[in-house]
Amino acid sequence: MKVAKRDRKSMLIRQIQFSIVFLLSLFAALAHASPALIPAPPSIAAKSYILMDGASGDIIIEDNANERLPPASLTKMMTAYITEYEIERGNINLKDEVLVSVKAWRTGGSKMFIKEGSRVPLVDLLRGIVIQSGNDASIAVAEHIAGSEGAFADIMNQHAGLLGMTDSHFQNATGLPMDEHYSSARDLALLAKAIIYNFPEQYPIYAEKYFTYNDIRQPNRNRLLWRDKSVDGLKTGHTEAAGYCMVASAVRDGMRLIAVVMGTSGEEARARETQKLLSFGFRYYDSVELYQAGQKLIDGRVWGGVIDNIPLGIADAVTVTIPKGQKENIQASVEMNPTIKAPVNIGDELGRIKVVLNDTTLVDKPLVALQAVDEAGFFKRIWDMIKLFFAQLFAGE
């Protein structure tokens, strides 16, 4: 009788334990499968806008992002970019003494207050462009690099083409209104990304709040530099035709976002609307680095080569932008060419890597050889071909 009671008690305990394990598994499965709950994007009072993940280049939200609009002083981002480009290549130097022309001195609008006939260090002019939004500084630099502002505009358009800025055309270095001088929110986000990642040595200038030249101290017009410690650039602009515009970038927990608003109603409005974009992106999205450049993902069998196996991977780093909490739901698959024969060169495409999140393809890139493989000697090649024949025979090929 006591044995029966103990058996029933043991069975009850096992049933309870099973129920607990089942419920925990069920809750875990539900948690794992739970969809990302993201509200509708905020309403942005601007003619056009875009929010980009700086690392991946993925667009989180946008509206009229390809519309061609007057960029006003956001134009100076391209002027600064070309300056940084030329510095990087050693064609000019931050210590260069730049001669100020009559044209640069006489230019109206926002000014650095440089004097005709004076020589100004290029590093000061770069700060005058970025921080003080100096039209005079922009023209002085354009003439220093290209000889004239018109020739510099040609260079601006060439760089726009290289950066994929398909909805931009520049006619001056300042952003002062001219027919057929335009850009778009998407293009300006691409330009901001290039400034940040291509020339990191110069980028800290964009976060400086004040610059003093000729005993005149001027503030950076980017109000978010005072309001949000994560913001570290980039540029503001305003003309009657363009309205109030802003390109801003911020970093939180290793994630960099780039926001562009064009055609807002005032200084406060452009700061407020830009902050809305940044806050939404950081709150609801993550930037996830999946693979580093040249990272080995799998080994491939090589037939007829001096070695039998070759490392395969992705040529460039891969970062994706996903809703928060969805990293564990990412799935990756590799498709490799069934037969790889020597010789193989570094970079040869030998398959594909696909990354999917909830039936949405995030990545579809070539799987490339990370090492070269030369052909083996005659007898090794013959022996490998015999083995390959039987391998394919038994595989039913």
pLDDT string in tens for the chain (397-residue length) = 443 444 444 443 334 333 333 333 433 443 444 566 889 999 999 999 999 999 999 999 999 999 999 999 999 999 999 999 999 999 999 999 999 999 999 999 999 999 999 999 999 999 999 999 999 999 999 999 999 999 999 999 999 999 999 999 999 999 999 999 999 999 999 999 999 999 999 999 999 999 999 999 999 999 999 999 999 999 999 999 999 999 999 999 999 999 999 999 999 999 999 999 999 999 999 999 999 999 999 999 998 999 999 999 999 999 999 999 999 999 999 999 989 999 999 999 999 999 999 889 999 999 999 999 999 888 888 887 888 787 777 776 4
Using alpha carbons only, how large is the chain's radius of gyration in Å?
29
Annotated active-site residue 184? The verdict is no
CB atoms within 10 A of CB 167: 17
Cβ proximity of 176 and 241 under 8 Å: no
What pLDDT, on the 0 to 100 scale, is given for residue 36? Answer: 67
Annotated active-site residue 133? The verdict is yes
- Of the candidates 155, 186, 190, the one whose C-alpha atom is nearest the C-alpha of residue 170 is 155
On whether the 292-394 domain is CATH 2.60.410.10, my answer is yes
What pLDDT, on the 0 to 100 scale, is given for residue 3? Answer: 39
> Which secondary structure element, helix H or strand E, spans residue 63, and what is its range?
strand 59-63
What pLDDT, on the 0 to 100 scale, is given for residue 393? Answer: 75
Overall fold of domain 48-287: Beta-lactamase (3.40.710)
Structure tokens at 1: 């009788």
What pLDDT, on the 0 to 100 scale, is given for residue 10? Answer: 43
Of the residues 56, 73, 249, 287, which is catalytic?
73
What pLDDT, on the 0 to 100 scale, is given for residue 26? Answer: 36
Whole-model pTM: value is 0.86
Taking each helix axis from N to C end, the angle separating 75-88 and 122-130, rounded to the nearest 10 degrees, works out to: 150
* Domain definitions of the chain by residue range: 48-287, 292-394
Of the residues 48, 133, 183, 249, which is catalytic?
133
What pLDDT, on the 0 to 100 scale, is given for residue 34? Answer: 58
What pLDDT, on the 0 to 100 scale, is given for residue 264? Answer: 98
Coil, helix or strand at residue 107? coil
